[in-house]
Structure 1
Amino acid sequence: MTNHTNSSEKTITPTVRRCATIDLHHKLLQESEQYKNARVEIESMTNEYLNSVRVQEERPVVKIPVVVHVVWNTEEQNISEEQVHSQIDVLNLDFRAANPDIANVPSVFKDSVSDARVEFILANNDPNGNQTNGITRTHTTKQSFLYSDDSVKSKSTGGADAWPSDKYLNLWVCPQILDEDGEEILGYAQFPGGLSETDGVVIAYTCFGKTGTATRPYHLGRTATHEIGHWFNLYHIWGDDQRSANICSGSDKVDDTPNQGKPNFKRPTFPHTSCNNGPDGDMFMNFMDYVYDDTMFMFTKGQVDRIDACLAGPRSSFLTN
């Protein structure tokens, strides 16, 4: 179907970005010994990789086959192929540091900008070897999905089953995503180490891509960029310690991102300082903060090193796809 919604004329709630990746992460840590052990092993491997003496050669560009599972209740939610392609285009610009708005990175942070050398392509073949456009479409009777039960990821619970997660990045696009308090969430991802049948990224249809139903201020496809950062084992840039007694105690496990007290929202003014990180302040224009789509522009060299470690470890199957 073709969707003619004009994103510039719409607004969206919530008015601030919210992602449930860390909430899901803590839930899985509490409920699954297998996940807990896998996360310890992955972080140990990541640290070993980052601390090793590596030949300083550019890794070849890794191409990630993507399947987009469109799970829809109303016709508007059955987003167009054009909208799907617009999201893939955004990902390829953002992860290659080729997005035009990267010019807006403050000069003090420009040397930190890095190309992740990752590109995304819609799958040409399905798991059975049949030709595909990389998009599945599933009509559902559900008007919303809880992140906590991953129900959007299973046909039996009103969603769509994952394709093999060692061969495809599964992206689910669906109606409202809610937490257990009924609050709306833009998206969430599963860190490496979880079950293969739930591995991937979930994004609300109102913040996917740049056309159609994509709605301000999440209308530039950056929710997917942020969530796929998590899929590559990146943490939020503030270290997810905003509820602790010392909000400067957390870490995103990356050395070249400034220590930051809590998430930034909307459009902060540079410099925005916290945790004695002046004069330059927070790197709020990083894809792993919570600012509006038109205010996030970059990954750092340290974040790309973690992506490299992820591709050398838990996502290594994509090196040979």
Structure 2
Amino acid sequence: MPVHHQMIATRPDYAIARAAIENTTFARKNARAPRRREVVTIPVVVHVVYQQEAHNVSDGQIASQITVLNQDFRAANPDVSQVPAPFQSAVADTLIEFAPATTDPAGQPTSGIVRRRTAQAQFGDDDAVKFSSRGGSDAWPADRYLNLWVCNLVPWLGYAQFPGGPAETDGVVVAYHAFGNTGTATAPFNLGRTATHEIGHWLNLRHIWGDDGDACSGDDFVADTPNAAGPNFGVPTFPSITCGNGPNGDMFMNYMDYTDDRGMFMFTNGQSERMDAALSQARDSFVTKKVLDGMWAGVTESVMRT
């Protein structure tokens, strides 16, 4: 959110784009647009930027992260069975999958992995890791790839850019010790859920407490995630009641909270609808025309213009 707020304050084009994206999202919601039935597969390029070999995550660790993403976004993760009974009906298979890119921007075969040794000991949330001129690795075209940077990110676990931002910084950054579920991944963030959370932002999801501190007045614009007073940490005990949201309390097991990796294991139907809205507009380059036409079926022309 600090990155988002900085961009809102300094980039009028980003603020305009964000408003347009939210207008489209609400229009689709109000028109009860049909839910997408086809699986969308998003090509991923992983930029590994490292100074020390310890930060140079292995191919196997990268593969483990892709596996986690595909399980989490398809509600195929083994721990989804831990969702408390009152929330089970809200669990969503988002019909989104991820795969390593097989061709690079020039059309040449690729493993979907770019490795860059850097003189920089660490990176922050200033996007330096996204530019070779600043010691990082340049983004691949953001309308064709999800750019995922892995580096010694300090002090964050990860951060993402919401839809509507500049292409050259579009994507997700994850700390090497919170990436995947093997190798350098370190408890309690060793199950790959940092990338799941951040890609949720990349697909226009907000935090479940609405980013209002602990004021109970925020909104993540999703009806089936109960309003929470603020972020949850560790692994809370169900129910954890805040903001008068009893008897079931916070949905702290949602990927868009701040709990430990082993404490989060679901997206909701409402969150899936928001991701569909992102794929129908700001991220529509990842969707075929046939699927995109189906996503807009039933939404009237007048509503589409609002």
Q: Within the alignment, does 1:28 sit opposite 2:7 as a pair?
A: yes
Contact preservation (8 Å) 1:25, 1:191: yes
Q: Aligned to 1:130, which of 95, 100, 108?
A: 108
1:11-50 aligned within 5 A:
22-50=1-29
Q: Partner of 2:149: helix, strand, or coil?
A: strand
Superposed CA deviations along residues 133-190 of structure 1, whole A, max 9, x for unmatched, are 000000011111120x21000000000000000000000000133xxxxxx1100000
How many Å apart are 1:50 and its aligned residue? 1.1
CA 1:127–1:28: 2 relative to 1, 3 Å: same
Contact preservation (8 Å) 1:193, 1:314: yes
Contact preservation (8 Å) 1:241, 1:262: yes
Q: Within the alignment, does 1:288 sit opposite 2:256 as a pair?
A: yes
Q: Aligned to 2:78, which of 97, 100, 114?
A: 100
Residue number in structure 1 paired with 2:52: 74
Residue number in structure 2 paired with 1:11: none
Contact preservation (8 Å) 2:178, 2:186: yes
Q: In structure 2, what is the Cα distance between the partners aligned to 1:119 and 1:301?
A: 16
1:1-321 aligned within 5 A:
22-55=1-34, 58-147=36-125, 149-177=126-154, 184-242=155-213, 247-320=215-288
TM superposition score normalised by structure 2: 0.93
Number of aligned residue pairs: give it.
Answer: 289
How many Å apart are 1:52 and its aligned residue? 1.1
TM superposition score normalised by structure 1: 0.89
Q: In structure 1, what is the Cα distance between the partners aligned to 2:122 and 2:31?
A: 45
Q: In structure 2, what is the Cα distance between the partners aligned to 1:35 and 1:299?
A: 27
Superposed CA deviations along residues 264-295 of structure 1, whole A, max 9, x for unmatched, are 00010100000000110000000000000000
Q: In structure 2, what is the Cα distance between the partners aligned to 1:140 and 1:320?
A: 37
How many Å apart are 1:53 and its aligned residue? 3.6
How many Å apart are 1:120 and its aligned residue? 0.2
Runs of 4+ with >4 A deviation: none
Q: In structure 1, what is the Cα distance between the partners aligned to 2:276 and 2:12?
A: 26
Q: In structure 2, what is the Cα distance between the partners aligned to 1:272 and 1:318?
A: 38
Contact preservation (8 Å) 2:196, 2:255: yes
Contact preservation (8 Å) 1:208, 1:223: yes
Q: Partner of 2:123: helix, strand, or coil?
A: strand
Q: Partner of 1:71: helix, strand, or coil?
A: strand
Task: Please report the RMSD computed on the Cα atoms of aligned residues, expressed in angstroms.
Answer: 1.0
Q: In structure 1, what is the Cα distance between the partners aligned to 2:212 and 2:115?
A: 38
Contact preservation (8 Å) 1:169, 1:200: yes
How many Å apart are 1:248 and its aligned residue? 0.5
Contact preservation (8 Å) 2:124, 2:156: no
Contact preservation (8 Å) 1:143, 1:176: no
How many Å apart are 1:305 and its aligned residue? 0.3
Unaligned runs of 5+ in 1: 1-21, 178-183
Q: Partner of 2:48: helix, strand, or coil?
A: strand
Superposed CA deviations along residues 20-62 of structure 1, whole A, max 9, x for unmatched, are xx11000000000000111111100111111114345x42000
- Paired amino acid for 2:15: K
Contact preservation (8 Å) 1:164, 1:196: yes
Q: In structure 1, what is the Cα distance between the partners aligned to 2:25 and 2:52?
A: 42
Q: Partner of 1:176: helix, strand, or coil?
A: coil
Unaligned runs of 5+ in 2: 290-306
- Paired amino acid for 1:166: D
Contact preservation (8 Å) 2:143, 2:285: yes
How many Å apart are 1:214 and its aligned residue? 0.3
Q: Partner of 2:240: helix, strand, or coil?
A: coil
